[in-house]
Amino acid sequence: MLSIGIDVSKEKVDIALYNGTDYAFKSYENSTKGVKRMIREVKKMRVSKGSSQERRSKVRQQRKRDNKQQEVNPEIHFIMEATGTYHLMYANTLHKNGYDAYVVNPLIIKRYGEEKLRRAKTDKADAKLIAEFGYHNIVNKANDTNSSVSPYLFRPNSKTSMKIKLMVRTIDQLYISKNRSSNQIEALSQYDNGYSKESIKALKSINKKIDHEIEKLEKQIKTLIMNTEYRETYERVTSIPGIGDRTASALIGYFEKFDNFENAKQIAAYIGLNPSIKESGKSIKKRGRISRIGNPYLRKLFFMAALSASVHNTQCRELYERLLLKGKDKKLIITAVAHKLLRQAFAVVKYERMYDPAY
């Protein structure tokens, strides 16, 4: 069993092969050409023991054998960190070629390194650490017939959901740009009109164009959803008071029909709405907070949706009022409502039913 740790950067990746005792290292460019080359060479690579001279000799002998006969090692597991979008080239290509690729939250790898008292911080050292984590926490468990599918296993989105996801994120970036322009307009309005008239006019024109693009993207998303298998999912989710078009579209873009999740707790952990408790003995007992180890964009969407759900959603309103009577902090209450809203969305999609306020 081989664990291959992949440290991904914008232009190149460093890999470390680990068999439980020994290592081998290589570097490739972060491109389609690079990942295909990696797959070809990993099929041939073996992790060798012994001195450096002995290893070089064994590698030369192995290369001669590989030139005569190439064989695929089916027990190879590729592990990498989630690095924005840079890891997607390797993860998608590996999946298409029939290999198991695992994408792990970088914070989990960081904590694993801290447990091992890691001191070195280089690309090679990072790849080695990822390979070790993968071997002990993924490869060994994958070999256990009683274990469930690893939560780190990479599952690519469908073409439709990926398009929706990218368009939803683009809308969010457009709103950020609009807010920035609006703040500049407000600042410029403090000057005499003779100085700021042209600048304000230019910024208002930009905001008008942004509004047009947002409206166009929202229509494209709605058309895309209504003409695909996600129509029923969309209708079920939007039947929940508090969840609007934007949140529903984001859920479909990121989670499709929740097929890759067994329960709502897993999704809450992905978004970062799960509670984080800090207690130790008598001296440490901090107030519970959300973990924030997750997707900040989705967390923001659900936080905003919870504000509406606290008024219009029967169960969410009851939860809000109950926690308010207990004297809980307003922000904590809204977070609890967001978590409740997420569980409702999961339930209506997973069990294929519309929202029932009396349920």
User: Does residue 31 fall inside a structural domain?
Assistant: yes
pLDDT digits (tens, 9 = 90+) for 139-192: 887 666 555 667 788 888 888 999 999 999 999 999 999 999 999 999 999 988
Q: Are residues 166 and 138 in the same domain?
A: no
pLDDT tens for each residue of 9-19 = 888 899 999 98
Whether 151 maps to a domain, the answer reads no
CA end-to-end span of the chain, whole Å? 49
Q: How far apart are CA 322 and CA 309, in angstroms?
A: 14
Please say which residue of 108, 142, 176 terminates a domain. Answer: 142
CB–CB of 24/45 below 8 Å?
yes
Contact of 126 with 120, CB cutoff 8 Å: no
Task: Report if residue 242 sits inside a domain.
Answer: no
Q: Check whether residue 45 and residue 77 sit in a common domain.
A: yes
What pLDDT score was predicted for residue 307?
94
Distances (CA, A) of 189 to 164, 175, 194: 37, 21, 10
Q: Are residues 84 and 122 in the same domain?
A: yes
Same domain, 218 and 273: no
Query: What integer pLDDT is reported at residue 215 of this predicted model?
Result: 96
Residue 143: φ, ψ to 5°? -80, -10
Tens-place pLDDT, residues 264-309: 888 888 888 865 544 444 444 455 455 556 678 899 999 999 999 9
| DSSP code for 327 | T
Residues 210 and 274 grouped into a single domain? no
Tokens matching residue 27: 């570097």
- Of the three residues 194, 226, 258, the one that is the final residue of a domain is 226
What does the pLDDT look like over 102-119, one tens digit per residue? 998 888 888 888 888 777
User: Which residue's structure tokens are 């499709």?
Assistant: 256
Q: Is 66 helix (H, G, I), strand (E, B) or coil?
A: helix
Q: Where are the alpha helices (DSSP H) in the chain?
A: 32-44, 52-68, 88-96, 106-115, 123-134, 140-142, 159-188, 193-226, 231-238, 245-255, 264-271, 296-312, 314-325, 330-350
Instruction: Residue 172: count other Cβ atoms within 10 Å of its Cβ.
Output: 16
Residue 42's pLDDT band (cuts 50, 70, 90): confident
HSE of 209, CA atoms in CB hemisphere, 13 A: 8
Distance CA 235, CA 281 (A): 48
Residue 239 lies in a domain: no
How many structural domains are present in the chain?
A: 3
Claim to verify: residue 99 and residue 131 sit in the same structural domain: yes
CATH code of 110's domain: 3.30.420
- End-of-domain residue from the set 113, 142, 171: 142
In this predicted model, what pLDDT tens digit does every residue of 197-217 receive, in sequence order? 999 999 999 999 999 999 999
Residues 269 and 190 in one domain: no
More confident of the two residues 270 and 231: 231
- Residue range of the domain that includes 297: 249-350
Tokens read off for 50: 């012994």
Q: Are residues 30 and 135 in the same domain?
A: yes
> Which has the minimum average pLDDT: 29-43, 56-70, 233-247?
56-70
- 232 occurs within a structural domain: no
231 falls within a domain: no
243 inside domain:
no
b/e code 101-116 from CB counts within 10 Å (16+ = b): bbbbeeeebeebbeee
Question: Do 193 and 99 sit in the same domain of this protein?
Answer: no
**Which residues fall within 8 angstroms of residue 278, CB to CB, at 6 or more apart?**
284, 285, 286, 288
Same domain for 253 and 137: no
What's the rounded Cα separation, in Å, for the pair 327 and 333?
10
Same domain, 102 and 190: no
Q: Is residue 132 part of a domain?
A: yes
- Cβ atoms of residues 340 and 264 within 8 Å: no
Looking at the structure, do residues 134 and 214 belong to the same domain, yes or no? no
